[in-house]
Amino acid sequence: MNRLPSFKRKSFRIQGARNEALDVARGRVVLVSACFALAYILVVARVFDLSVIRGRLYNTGEPTEIVEMTAQEQAYRGDILDRNGVILATSLETASLYADPKLIIEPTETAKALARIFPDLAYGDILKSLQKGGRFVWLKRNLTPAEQYDVLQIGDPGLGFKTGRRRIYPNGDLAAHFVGYTDVDGRGLAGVERSFNTYLAAGEQPLVMTLDVRMQHILRREIVKAVENFTAKGGAGVIMDVTNGEVLAAVSYPDFDPHNLDVKNDAAMFNRLSLGTYEMGSTFKIFSTAAVLELAGAEMSDKYDAREPLQAGRFKINDYHAEKRVLTLPEVFMYSSNIGSALMGQKVGTEALKAFYKDLGLMDKIKLEIDEVGRPILPAVWRDVNTLTASYGHGIAVTPLQMVAAAASVVGDGTLVKPTLIKNNDELLTQKGHTDEPVIRIVSPQTAHRMRQLMRLVVTDGTGGNADVKGYRVGGKTGTAEKNINGRYDRKKLISSFLGFFPMEAPRYAVFVMVDEPKGNKKSYGYATAGWVAAPAVGKVVESMAPMVGIEPVMAAPEEDLSASLKRYVKTEEEIKAEKAVQNASY
């Protein structure tokens, strides 16, 4: 037998091994390719199942409108702007989260993940929604981009999003009570959002308010400080253009964030400025004094005996800081004498005073472009004693905004001032009752001038000294009223307010601050009265806003001041001491 040479036998063995390795490699490649192909087929099949087969079931299982956003959410809702074009409310597109319970893979795990993303949603409620029958359930409306991203990371095919519009308030709580807010479907529930809901829903033009966010910030800042410094329940305030009634700033505090409503928090949701009614105390002396000048022909030299409390039936009228002497008309006003003011009301007469208050709009609900407006609380039967008490702001309760508008009517040009929040157009104002009406004269120009003098005197020499701002000639009136609790006045629960006007020679702006139940502190020497609580806040507002509105300070000699001519009717400390010495000697 012939045998192959050894080198050939070795060559055949190498070739065989090589072929065997190639066969193994080909087998592995085929196996891996088959696995990839199978995986691809499975993915395609799953996508087809979700997008076509299950999609058809989804679309035919429920009416299509249940997965659509409401018409309110889809439509563009008009912006709300301040007088300078600053956005107070606008609508932005946001995603809302829904679930198809039949597509949820792991309801328990998905519910846990969603509860971590949305702490305000209870795990049990989420799980219940994910296990419902049907094909659609809302889980969360108006997500932030971060929240939407976190939901996507869950990766559950049963979770989906619908895009709609969310109402956004860039200034947050700054003017929340008057701008208002909407529900999740974009319907207005308060403020101008509610009262102009139809107009805003049309989305044709923005709604322009009379508010100025700069003044709004100043006023709110000072009211918050006063409330905190005097540990009060709350406060309210307004800045108004005396010439046309435009409300430039309006604050009710505590307030709320319209993005995160707490409807159970009555203190925050309640509008103290236009809805709350209060006995305003001595600020009402503005009206009784104007009435005695206008209707009873009183003169600045007239005198009122305030030496003893005034007895009216079972009621006794006292002065808070009793002067216990005969006072001239300017002294009654600057020292805020209840006795003297009651005697003024008595001189005017019951029917005449009631008619005067009615002409001022104090006896009826005021017209305003929002629905949150309070109705005055009047005596069930107006007797002569009610005339006395109403002369200094007791026994009659009105809204602070109503009182400010009435006072502006007396100290401006003497014609009726109607407050307004809307600057848009005549058509809108007509819709809300602000029709073109004839000018209504309340007092003569002479009486209005006298009232300006008296209010300036309160700041230069009376109870409102803490409201004075050098160069701006602020005038005003303090008001400290005890709250009526279940028919009895509580000396420890006060409404302390100050109503200021400037520049007093020709008033352009009214500035009002009210603090509810303040408590005296070390700086106020324990007092919680208006001169210590509210007057300083008004002064700070004037100091901040005057340069903003272009009013230059005026430095004039004291004898040129508006109140200078009234000083001869005000006794000096030396004269008062001498008078009391004579009275004591006579006893």
Query: What are the backbone dihedrals phi and psi of residue 3, each rounded to the nearest 5 degrees, phi first?
Result: -110, 145
List, as one string, the DSSP characters of 175-240. THHHH-EE-TTS-EEEHHHHHTHHHHHHTSSPEEBS--HHHHHHHHHHHHHHHHHTT-SEEEEEEE
Cα–Cα dist 397/316, whole Å: 20
- Confirm if 182 and 193 have CB atoms less than 8 A apart: yes
Of 252, 274, 282, 497, the catalytic one is 282
What is the side-by-side strand order in the sheet with 509-516?
Answer: 247-253, 234-241, 509-516, 488-502, 475-485
How distant, in Å, are the alpha carbons of 79, 170, 481, 510 from that of 203? 8, 18, 45, 34
Structure tokens at 317: 């009228």
How distant, in Å, are the alpha carbons of 328, 371, 497, 548 from that of 246? 36, 17, 21, 17
Coil, strand or helix: which one is 349? coil
| Residue 282 designated active-site | yes
What CA dihedral angle connects 570, 575, 581 and 583, to 10 degrees? -40
Q: What is the CA radius of gyration of the chain?
A: 37
List, as one string, the DSSP characters of 430-451. HHTT-------B-S-HHHHHHH
β-strands 247-253, 303-305 pairing: unpaired
In this structure, the number of other CB atoms found within 10 A of the CB of residue 278 comes to 23
CA angle 475, 519, 281 (to 5 degrees): 45
Q: In 3D, which of 157, 123, 164 has the Cα closest to residue 142?
A: 164
Structure tokens at 81: 């702007």
Q: In 3D, which of 478, 476, 472 has the Cα closest to residue 547?
A: 472
Cα–Cα dist 263/270, whole Å: 10
> Catalytic site residues?
282
